[in-house]
Amino acid sequence: MDEDSFDPKQWVAGNGRHSPPPVQKQESGEGIGAFWREVAEPQHTAPNAAPSHTTHTDTGHKSTAQRPAPHRRLAFAIAGSVLVLGAGAISAWLTAVDPIIAPSASPSAASAAPSNAQERAINLAGPGQLAGALIEAGVRADDASAAAAAAAPHLASVGEIHAIIVLLPGEGGALLQQLRAVHINGSGVILARAADGTFSVTPLAADVSRKIEVLRGEIDSESFYTSAVSAGLIDTLIPDFINAFSYDFNLASEVSPGDVFEVAYDQEVNADGEPVGQPKLLYAQLTTPKKSLALYRFQPPGEDAGWFDGNGATTKRGLMRTPVDGARITSKFGMRFHPVLHYNKLHGGTDFAAPTGTPIYAAADGTIEFAAMKGANGNLTILRHDNGWQTYYLHQNVFAPGIAAGVRVTQGQRIGDVGTTGRSTGPHLHYEVHIDGERVDPLSIPVDEASRKRMEGTALQAFLKERDRIDMARSQRTL
């Protein structure tokens, strides 16, 4: 067992990909009234004016609302002001305003045509912030609470919300005239004030579809990570791609600039084509001068999802070549000049550099013999496998819940996280394989092809159908 570590290179985490949706600019002549014409509302006609009809379509709803022919039109825009609400979680701003005939809480005022109505856009982290956001926008507290209570049953408990509100200023605070609150998937609610002062409620159903995206790229001189990002692959899918090949490739040592990769992933999108939720990797292919492998993600009935070749054979066999998420080798097995002790000695394992907290997996089924702090090794886990071999995992930040001596684990099960405990100059996993008490190079162990299992019967037929669906999407990609 090696008690030393190697100084890994710096890792840079990827950035998030979502940002709040932009406020859509109102067309001239539409203004405040446009977004709430979807709901049935009281109709008002100005004296001595012939009614006109306007049809507006939004998120799949169509309706017709009457508007008076105005004697004059007043419009104003207030731009460049941002009201930050809820410690940065909520933002609101003013947009173009059009004169409307807003239903009033007072029946006697129902025929009034106020010109001081205001429209605002608000981004919320969740529905629990709606009442507070309305109050911050100037709405009376009782009115804000009533609106939030009416909207809550139709909003998901998690997920960002984009809201458009129309306010009518008054003594003691503004009255909320209309509210349209939607999630990125199109689900949400529209509130409109009725003549009796209550809110009419119109739920909005989600409007999403699924599509398969296909990307292809080449390995650059930097790393697979930078190559994948440059090709347009979402960074959250990169660990899945690496893990797909954990039994067949080591992406730190067996790929070179110019090698080709291809991915296909499933993504939900809303009516505007914007991604909704997290994508799921379906297909991964890697081609080098020495070998090429294409893998499909599939979940057999009653089993966990896994990776299979085109004939339905699982990738699982023998020991995982890379028992850590998205890592790269910084020091191989063999003699080396030690960076801390400053003399040549055997480096009895492989160092995989990865950020602190990166998951570490059991390289094969086995029983835990040791899981505790051990001097220069830091937090150490030792597994004894069914064939008598042992694998060692050094310098862990923490052990996974439930990991202790005597516990049985399965191949690919998370046993801990990468760290820099013990004699270590940076976060990494030092991984060793012991056969008959001797340390051997983990990368020299041959792959046990005989241990691969192939699906049969109905499971195989279901897999072949999924494989063909993915291949059809790949064939339709735009080159």
- Weakest mean pLDDT among 26-40, 77-91, 164-178: 77-91
Checking if the pLDDT of 309 tops 80, the result is: yes
Q: What is the longest distance spanned by two Cα atoms in the chain?
A: 100
Find where tokens 């890994």 sit: 8
Model confidence band, residue 190 (pLDDT cutoffs 50, 70, 90): very high
Tokens at residue 372, please?
């505790």
Q: Which part of the chain has CATH 2.70.70.10? A: 328-446
Q: Which part of the chain has CATH 3.10.450.350? A: 209-317+454-475
- Weakest mean pLDDT among 20-29, 156-165, 260-269, 358-367: 20-29
Whether 97 contacts 62, CB under 8 Å: no
Please state which of the four CATH numbers 3.10.450.350, 3.30.428.10, 3.40.50.920, 3.30.360.10 is assigned to the domain occupying 209-317+454-475. Answer: 3.10.450.350
Q: What mean pLDDT do residues 387-410 have?
A: 94
Residue 1: other Cβ atoms inside 10 A:
16
225-268 per-position pLDDT tens digit: 788 888 888 888 888 888 888 778 766 667 888 899 999 999 98
CA-based angle 220:224:225, to the nearest 5? 115
Q: Residue 133 has what pLDDT? A: 93
Alpha-carbon distance of 218 to 220, in angstroms, equals 6
Distances (CA, A) of 350 to 126, 333, 416, 425: 45, 5, 17, 15
Measure CA of the first residue to CA of the last residue in the chain; give whole Å: 50
Q: Residue 115 has what pLDDT? A: 66
Distances (CA, A) of 257 to 12, 245, 370: 20, 18, 40
49-79 per-position pLDDT tens digit: 444 333 333 433 444 334 444 343 333 333 3
3-state helix, strand, coil in the chain (%, to 5): 15, 35, 50
CATH superfamily of this structure's domain 328-446 = Glucose Permease (Domain IIA) (2.70.70.10)
Q: Give the residue ranges of DSSP H helices in 349-477.
A: 457-475
Find where tokens 């160092």 sit: 351
Alpha-carbon distance of 208 to 424, in angstroms, equals 48
Alpha-carbon distance of 267 to 261, in angstroms, equals 19
